[in-house]
Structure 1
Amino acid sequence: MDWRVWAIRGAITVTENSEAAIGEAVTELLDALETCNQLDPSHIISATFSVTRDLDAVFPAAIARRRPRWDSVALLDVQHMHVEGSLTHCIRLLIHAQLPEMQCEVQHVYLRAARDLRPDLEIAPIH
């Protein structure tokens, strides 16, 4: 089987700047990305989280690292560039993963108010 490197994007907003709220949001986002893309963490090369400047209660990567098999993924947290009037309380994510080439496309996941960032990528809610 041939493999290809894919870039998978996602974003979610947080209700407040607290460890609990950020943890809940990161978990929701990663659950959705894993489900929509049948993503096995052992195939993830790296993941970069960017957060808006109003979120500093916990590193999203620290939340991800607690997930099963995410402890070996190269993770990075950065602060997202601030643009006046842009979406606040937002966590964005870029994952690079090796997936089978027969998986002809990936699903980018934008949840909560972050859906407004990419309305063209609207997906049905995950249950």
Structure 2
Amino acid sequence: MENWQQIGAMSKPLMTKVRAIRGATTADANTIESMREAVAELLTEIETRNQLDYEEIISVIFTVTSDLDATFPAAIARENPQWENVPLLDLQQMQVRGSLEKCIRVLIYFNTDKPQAEIYHPYLRKARNLRPDWNLTHMIMGNK
């Protein structure tokens, strides 16, 4: 028993936590092509900036404004074979008068040992105005 306790004391457990990546973008039009371009750009930015490991993704929630109904963002994500087995969900955003039109948002839950401050949350195109505080922080940190 003492040997087992000593071995356990010598090795530090990996501190993996569940974190979330938040991001948003806008489509130019309510077409499959425009939505595909916007979703692909957003997911590429998230994957690249966060060095996202597909095996660590728990689930992904996409939301779209009611003026986008040409396709499902999850269907676009599944076009990438690495996203094939990731649990994906599409929802319609709450309608709020005066809110940003043609907006696609994403929330990705994943396991990581990175601290929260190192997670990059991209807000692209017209969605930059949704979280100007995060865009400013990323610019200061050199993560344009």
Give the TM-score, by structure 1 length: 0.93
Which fold has the larger relative contact order, with Cα–Cα distance below 8 Å and residues 6 or more apart in sequence? 1
Which residue of structure 2 aligns with residue 82 of structure 1?
Answer: 95
Q: Contact (CA 8 Å) 1:32, 1:126: kept in 2 or not? A: no
**Offset at residue 126 of structure 1 (A):** 7.9
Which residue of structure 1 aligns with residue 128 of structure 2?
Answer: 115
Which residue of structure 1 aligns with residue 84 of structure 2?
Answer: 71
Would you say 1:21 and 2:34 are equivalent positions? yes
Greater strand content:
1
Match of 1:35 among 42, 48, 51: 48
Instruction: Give unpaired runs (5+ residues) of structure 1.
Output: none
* Overall identity of the aligned pairs, in %: 52
Aligned counterparts of 2:17 and 2:43: Cα–Cα separation in 1:
21
Instruction: Give unpaired runs (5+ residues) of structure 2.
Output: 1-13
Would you say 1:106 and 2:112 are equivalent positions? no
Would you say 1:44 and 2:62 are equivalent positions? no
Match of 1:53 among 45, 66, 70: 66
Please tell me whether Structure 1 or Structure 2 has the larger radius of gyration of its CA atoms.
2
Aligned counterparts of 1:52 and 1:71: Cα–Cα separation in 2:
24
Greater helix content:
2
Which residue of structure 1 aligns with residue 15 of structure 2?
Answer: 2
Aligned counterparts of 1:114 and 1:91: Cα–Cα separation in 2:
9
Aligned counterparts of 2:143 and 2:64: Cα–Cα separation in 1:
23
Aligned counterparts of 1:83 and 1:47: Cα–Cα separation in 2:
23
